[in-house]
Amino acid sequence: MTLHRKHFILGGIAAACWAIAAPAFAQANTGKLKVGLMLPYTGTFAALGVAIENGFRLHVAEQGGKLGGREIEFVKVDDESDPAKATDNVNKLIKRDSVDVLVGTVHSGVAMAMAKAAKDSGTMLIVPNAGADAVTGPMCASHIFRSSFSNWQPGYAMGEVVAKKGHKKVVTITWKYAAGDESVKGFKEAFEKGGGQVVKDLSLPFPNVEFQALLTEIASLKPDAVYTFFAGGGAVKFVKDYAAAGLKKSIPLYGAGFLTDGTLEAQGADADGLLTTLHYGDSLDSAKDKAFRLNYVKAYKLQPDVYAVQGYDAAQMLAIGLNAVKGDITKKPEFAAAVEKARIDSPRGPFTLGKTHNPVQDIYLRQVSGKENKVIGVASKSLADPGRGCRM
Ligand code: BEZ
């Protein structure tokens, strides 16, 4: 065979391959964009997963069902807030379903497995709740974003508040896993800087809710105050048990805001008056928040909470990135650059992302009044997570 003829044949094969591949490339920009939702739909965090999905879908619906010009298709996995199943679950979305972007999850331990899988596979990941410090710390990556908070943030803000109130000796109580440990660590950092002392850290395994023995220990330790991280069904039970044990009257209880967010209906009067710190509250009264709340209630016949806001903002972040790359999510550096420079118009108030892709945001001081977490001040203005260990 002459060289000329060989080139001709090879060229023909290449052209044929291109003809086959071309529709697939075109598809990459214009076909449906597969969003892999990995959230808890069962267990103590089930309501949180539903609120995140509702918030996400609300923004997509407000954009006419398309982001960056592409119709959105959802693939869902119930992660059960179970870290032991997390790697298999996320790989179902990445390998079996070939999703374009992962959105998840609530539980910090599960989110760390997601971040590892996202890093290994290069899949885009937006975390709409889990605060695991590592996700925007040592595990940070240019294609991993968070629309929520780091566990350090509300804890640190509350540490400052409790120190300023003049409390000296505090006991902490939480679930023994990354979110609880890191929330307490953030609290302790600020509280001890402010002259206080944490005299005892109490914990129980996630998602255990047998609090009685620990409440008896708090009563005998007689601290000036208690700091806690619980969320979802566990938070409902803890607040009720704390009151039933007679502690609410004698030892002030402070918490990261998850203690009373999305839970007030079930907690009733036992939550009344509690002070918490969080990046959202029920009485912000901005035009953006009012519209969000109205549309959420209309769509779901439910009141929104912080989880719904984080889901909504995860979709806003995806939209910002996709608009910048005209729907081509494979253009990761351009996608990241657009999200990094965006001012995200959130119901919580506008926020930006820090260098590690974690929100830089106001942390509000809220007080429970009836069925609302009323914002009574800003505990920490534009608080940025330190992003320890992130190299990006
Ligand atoms: C977490 O595991 O990171 C988490 C769970 C529920 C509420 C807040 C944080």
- Which one of 158, 183, 258, 310 would you pick to mutate in the ligand 1 pocket, going by the greatest count of ligand atoms within 8 A of its CB? 258
Residue appearing with tokens 């779901």:
300
Q: What is the pLDDT of residues 266-304, one digit of tens each?
A: 999 999 999 999 999 998 989 999 999 999 999 999 999
Cβ contacts of 126 within 8 Å, gap of 6 or more: 101, 102, 103, 145, 146, 147, 314, 317, 318
- Which one of 112, 150, 151, 263 would you pick to mutate in the ligand 1 pocket, going by the greatest count of ligand atoms within 8 A of its CB? 151
Cβ contacts of 192 within 8 Å, gap of 6 or more: 159, 198
Q: How far, in Å, from the CA of 131 to the mean position of ligand 1? A: 6
Count Cβ atoms within 10 A of the Cβ of residue 119 and give its class: 0-12 exposed, 13-18 middle, 19 or more buried.
middle
Residue appearing with tokens 């001012």:
343
Sequence letter at residue 171: V
pTM of the model: 0.93
Q: What is the pLDDT of residues 248-258, one digit of tens each?
A: 999 999 999 99
Are 327 and 68 in contact, with CB atoms under 8 Å apart?
yes
pLDDT value at position 28? 58
Assign 67 to helix, strand or coil. strand
Cα–Cα distance between 302 and 297 in angstroms, integer? Answer: 5
Residues having CB closer than 6 A to ligand 1 are: 45, 106-108, 129-132, 151, 179, 231, 258
Where do runs of H (alpha helix) occur along the chain? Answer: 3-30, 46-62, 83-91, 108-121, 152-164, 178-193, 212-221, 232-244, 247-250, 264-267, 287-300, 306-324, 332-341
Q: What is the pLDDT of residues 230-242, one digit of tens each?
A: 999 999 999 999 9
Strand partners of residue 369: 372
Q: What is the pLDDT of residues 137-150, one digit of tens each?
A: 999 999 999 999 99
pLDDT value at position 7? 40
